[in-house]
Amino acid sequence: ENCNENYTTDFICQLYSEEGKGVFDCRKNVLGHMQQGGAPSPFDRNFGTKLSSRAVQWITTKLKESQGTGKKFVTDDSVCVLGISKRNLVFQPVADLRKDTDFEHRIPKEQWWLKLRPVMKILAKYKASYDVSDSGQLEHVHLRPHEES
């Protein structure tokens, strides 16, 4: 945003949309407009450093693996997204994301966090009925005899 008077965000978005020719599209996202909360915290800075370090390590490893072998660098597992999965930084190939993504609505097919809504409402003291559709997986908590009083 505002780095060059000719290559504006709108221009870059229109360029990618035109070149995509229906194969892919482009949406604008200016980070300053999406970012909430003001200045980055020490946690944000530390996490950003960890992500960038892991990305550089991965790129270096991939380049070394393909160096001098005559193999092409771009493979199904080399086009990936770096993210967190079960408390670990994981590179997930984009090809694997196809089965988990609803491309029409641009959301994951399974949104695990929606199962947390009843808990969120309870913690927020939200006045509502707490009917949970997955009631077969809920367990009733019983107090132990020595804890009852």
The pLDDT score that the predictor gives to residue 57 is 93
Q: Are 50 and 83 contacting, i.e. CB atoms less than 8 angstroms apart? A: no
**Each residue's pLDDT tens digit, 40-83:** 788 888 988 999 999 999 989 888 887 777 766 677 777 888 88
pLDDT at position 54 is 93
Specify the range with the lowest mean pLDDT, choosing from 15-19, 34-38, 47-51: 34-38
Domains of the chain are 1-38 (no CATH), 45-124 (3.40.50.450)
Mean pLDDT in the chain? 78
Q: Of 82, 60, 59, 63, which is closest to residue 72 (Cα–Cα)?
A: 63
99-114: pLDDT as tens digits: 888 888 888 888 888 8
